[in-house]
Structure 1
């Protein structure tokens, strides 16, 4: 074969013979085109095993990732449950080890949970009845077991001091018992209102577990700032002058405070009320007052009851057993100082605020401020509640112990605002 050479113009054409190099190039190009087409055809026509394997591996990897995620979520859920259980055990919930030796049978029976006979209660959602007992009782389980060791339907042991020790350790409320408490014949009780200021007989109270065995002995001791010398001397003593005669600018008299309420003070709560004289003076004004107390070194509860007043045996660590916004007045003195971290007083103050009705009063009576920082901290706390300061007095008194040192006291009448 030969190549073609054309000469335009005269209508003739001349072909030159192709060289060996050009023929080889043409063949190579042809083979390349054919090979490319064959590969393309192969690629579009067949499903390679490698591709199928890749897809299979991809699905397998996704499955493995899902399994790993599920495992991680399971571990997180398990860790959260373990953490919750650890918190319960740390707080004492559900951690009574009743398998320990020498645990009273009555304690086991009381703490046993009882399933509701008809299953889940539709109103409350509960399925079982759980014993009402302080969670920190677990930390004093030996004492608690001792407290619950008695003969069923027999006389209770004379162990009120043991019960109070448990309460002061945070074991509150105490479990109920199935025994008869020791009774003391109440001979010589006077009718109300004569009982308010009539001397109480030594024979109608329980003296077991106390250092003093008479009120004369107690009157010679300073038991607290609310109950100093002569706290149980109701006739011709300083107790009969409280709340009716002001000995200093920090002392408010009841008539002045009641006048601020414009007749709207009917029921009140006295925190750490000593021998109950605040409630007695309020009773004379037809105001019913509940007095919170414990029998620390003296039979306060029995003495208050003998005066015809209402004692509430409960520590200040216990949530007040009253509904919200029910009291016209809450009265507290230095017994309000629960010590410890500032948050402890926060919790107490918020509970006091809870039970005072809007427009009601909080009477802070001669609160002892150990230092200026204590006064400032209490002031900041009170101001958080937005109370209206009807009376606010900071004054100094000589130390009642006779040391000659002056002490700072804060007294105030605060009115709870209406919050929306």
Structure 2
């Protein structure tokens, strides 16, 4: 009764109708009707010679009636299945993700989610007849927050609500709907030219502090924002000034040593959870381009990275990376790679990393915090499933002095090379 073909990358769902089956059934129904009419004509125009002939004719008519009933039942089943397929198509394309009739839904959200008919009717390649707005299906679970986000004056200034947008993203509501308002602007005065911008402290006046506990970088540098960001906003005197060029422990790899493992083929990279962008800065010094994925969790990471002349990507790890397959020479990740310690989510994330890394490219796992030995074994088994070549592999214990703890913790650092799969 037809097959369903989903193409996840572009968010469309395509349905191939069971045209062959439908045609066969229609032919069968036509033959059944013709046969019935012929027998009926024969019954009314001929004079049966004996009782046996009448009985045979009656039996034949009864069989034809049963066949007609069966054909009708099949047609009803086909019609029901086609309705179910149409319903599935609507759900997969997001036609019924939101109940726009309920109260407190912003008019702008209704307008953005309104279906737009294709000007030339049904598209022959995708099978769709309407354009559906690009918005995450998980947004429906946060409809109140989403409606608040879309409640603004058209062509006016956008509300200062980036923290609300980030809250929606962290709830899985991405991509967010577009808005027809002007984002708040902060004058970027005093930006240093590249490459001097890589290691020049950024002025607190050129970033947005709304929604954050700290209101300046001096405050941020006194806090442990993550395992990779302790004083990371002090580019002159902070620990990041020596990071990747001077090893603090056996788990710290020097960037030039890692790049040498790539045989000179490292040009572009992706840094996951890259803090203030220091890894990208070190790569930029070597004429290599790195995109840094980071959210503004407790600090203005995105604006800070951009002020250094680097490329920030405001995206959660629950979102498919918006890159084509096999495009990066290197992917760098630290403990920020861990998605709440959930094995299933981590496995999906690892497969997406593998997807964007080219064959022969390097995956640098930098000081990944293993909570215990079992966690380390799970991670090791997962990595081994990909068949990567272990160019460097170091497991070590260390005390995280910045946290004030005296307990030794397990860290894994590795440089792995993606194989060529056939």
Structure 2 residue runs of 5 or longer lacking an equivalent are 1-47
Q: Which residue, 152, 155, 177 being the options, matches 2:154?
A: 152
Q: Residues 116 and 129 of structure 1 are in contact (CA less than 8 Å); yes or no, is this contact kept in structure 2?
A: yes
Matched, 1:403 2:399: no
Equivalent positions of 1:182-331 (< 5 A) are: 182-227=184-229, 229-331=230-332
Structure 1 residue runs of 5 or longer lacking an equivalent are 1-45
Distance in 2 separating the partners of 1:411 and 1:296: 24
Query: Structure 1 residue 270: deviation in Å?
Result: 0.2
Cα 1:183–1:79 shift into 2, 3 Å: same
Query: Structure 1 residue 378: deviation in Å?
Result: 1.3
Query: Structure 1 residue 208: deviation in Å?
Result: 0.5
Secondary structure, counterpart of 2:378 in structure 1? helix
Superposed CA RMSD:
2.4
Query: Structure 1 residue 251: deviation in Å?
Result: 0.6
Query: Structure 1 residue 354: deviation in Å?
Result: 1.1
Alignment deviations for residues 22-55 of structure 1 (CA, whole Å, 9 cap, x no partner): xxxxxxxxxxxxxxxxxxxxxxxx8543663465
- Identify which range, 139-148 or 48-57, moves more after superposition: 48-57
Cα 1:213–1:383 shift into 2, 3 Å: same
Equivalent positions of 1:21-420 (< 5 A) are: 48-49=50-51, 52-53=54-55, 55-57=57-59, 59-61=61-63, 63-64=65-66, 67-68=69-70, 70-71=72-73, 74-75=76-77, 78=80, 82=84, 85=87, 94-121=96-123, 126-227=128-229, 229-339=230-340, 341-400=342-401, 401-420=403-422
Query: Structure 1 residue 116: deviation in Å?
Result: 2.5
Secondary structure, counterpart of 2:304 in structure 1? helix
Query: Structure 1 residue 320: deviation in Å?
Result: 0.8
Q: Residues 91 and 136 of structure 1 are in contact (CA less than 8 Å); yes or no, is this contact kept in structure 2?
A: no
Secondary structure, counterpart of 2:168 in structure 1? helix
Cα 1:90–1:371 shift into 2, 3 Å: farther
Cα 1:80–1:395 shift into 2, 3 Å: farther
Distance in 1 separating the partners of 2:200 and 2:188: 14
Q: TM-score, normalised by structure 2?
A: 0.83
Alignment deviations for residues 165-200 of structure 1 (CA, whole Å, 9 cap, x no partner): 111111100000010000001111111111111111
Q: TM-score, normalised by structure 1?
A: 0.83
Alignment deviations for residues 110-149 of structure 1 (CA, whole Å, 9 cap, x no partner): 1112222233456665543221111111111111111111
Distance in 2 separating the partners of 1:289 and 1:124: 35
Q: Residues 92 and 136 of structure 1 are in contact (CA less than 8 Å); yes or no, is this contact kept in structure 2?
A: no
Alignment deviations for residues 357-416 of structure 1 (CA, whole Å, 9 cap, x no partner): 111111011111112221111111111111111011111111341221111111111111
Distance in 2 separating the partners of 1:76 and 1:412: 56
Query: Structure 1 residue 209: deviation in Å?
Result: 0.6
Distance in 1 separating the partners of 2:83 and 2:378: 39
Secondary structure, counterpart of 1:259 in structure 2? helix
Secondary structure, counterpart of 2:391 in structure 1? strand
Q: Residues 93 and 132 of structure 2 are in contact (CA less than 8 Å); yes or no, is this contact kept in structure 1?
A: no
Q: Residues 95 and 132 of structure 2 are in contact (CA less than 8 Å); yes or no, is this contact kept in structure 1?
A: no
Higher Rg of the two aligned structures: 1
Moved beyond 6 Å, runs of 4+: none
Cα 1:116–1:93 shift into 2, 3 Å: closer
Q: Residues 361 and 415 of structure 1 are in contact (CA less than 8 Å); yes or no, is this contact kept in structure 2?
A: yes
Distance in 2 separating the partners of 1:118 and 1:249: 64
Q: Residues 92 and 138 of structure 1 are in contact (CA less than 8 Å); yes or no, is this contact kept in structure 2?
A: no
